[in-house]
């Protein structure tokens, strides 16, 4: 009984942390879980971000699933300067001292397509594009663009395989089902477990 009480107490505490969302546009049907820090992010409908994520300067499509402890975007240090320390560039940072306030280049926007699944603990470098329908395996570090419907994993992330053959990928991308209105989605949803049947119906 005691363990059950502790379990539910810890769940409540986890939820109580809330999330931090700044300068972002999150669709009302999407969800940001507690403990996540979201800055300058656009998230389309029916997507979600798990607990303890750090996402900045990103555009995220519809129906995308982001697990816990995921980092997308983020800042960089000026590796081509004399020093990479924040004491030499403009902006507030962990270190208070400023010897100079040089301007760093603006951070690049990171793109995450529609119906993407990003596993637990993934890190995605700023400026990377994750294609629609892609899967990023847990713990991966993504430093390069990921093609639509590719499954990637590793450090750095590499192609494991494609979810479907090239022709089916092409047809799914052309269908743009993630743009369907709710009524149309309800009509086609019964065939979402059979991609070939779904495409067959779309083409009728």
Active site positions, annotated: 77
Residue with tokens 């400023």: 98
Which residue, chain included where needed, has tokens 């990103």?
Answer: 58
For the record, the structure tokens of 116 come out as 């993407």
Closest CA to 34 of 55, 13, 59: 13
Distance CA 96, CA 189 (A): 54
DSSP 182: H
Task: Quote the DSSP letter at residue 26.
Answer: E
């Amino acid at each position: 009984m005691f363990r059950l009480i502790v379990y539910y107490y810890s769940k409540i505490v986890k939820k109580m942390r809330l999330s931090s969302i700044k300068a972002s546009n999150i669709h009302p049907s999407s969800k940001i879980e507690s403990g996540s820090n979201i800055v300058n992010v656009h998230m389309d409908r029916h997507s979600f971000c798990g607990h303890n994520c750090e996402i900045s300067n990103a555009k995220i499509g519809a129906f995308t699933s982001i697990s816990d402890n995921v980092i997308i975007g983020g800042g960089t240090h000026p590796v081509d300067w004399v020093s990479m320390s924040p004491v030499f560039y403009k902006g507030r940072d962990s270190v208070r001292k400023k010897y100079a306030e040089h301007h760093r280049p603006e951070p690049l926007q990171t793109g995450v397509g529609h119906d993407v699944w990003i596993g637990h603990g993934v890190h995605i470098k700023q400026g990377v594009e994750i294609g629609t329908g892609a899967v990023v395996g847990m713990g991966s570090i993504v430093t390069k663009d990921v093609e639509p419907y590719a499954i990637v994993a590793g450090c750095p992330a590499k192609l494991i395989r494609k979810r479907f053959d090239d022709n089916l990928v092409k047809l799914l991308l052309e269908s743009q089902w993630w743009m369907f209105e709710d009524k149309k989605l309800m009509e086609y949803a019964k065939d979402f477990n059979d991609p070939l049947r779904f495409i067959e119906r779309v083409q009728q």
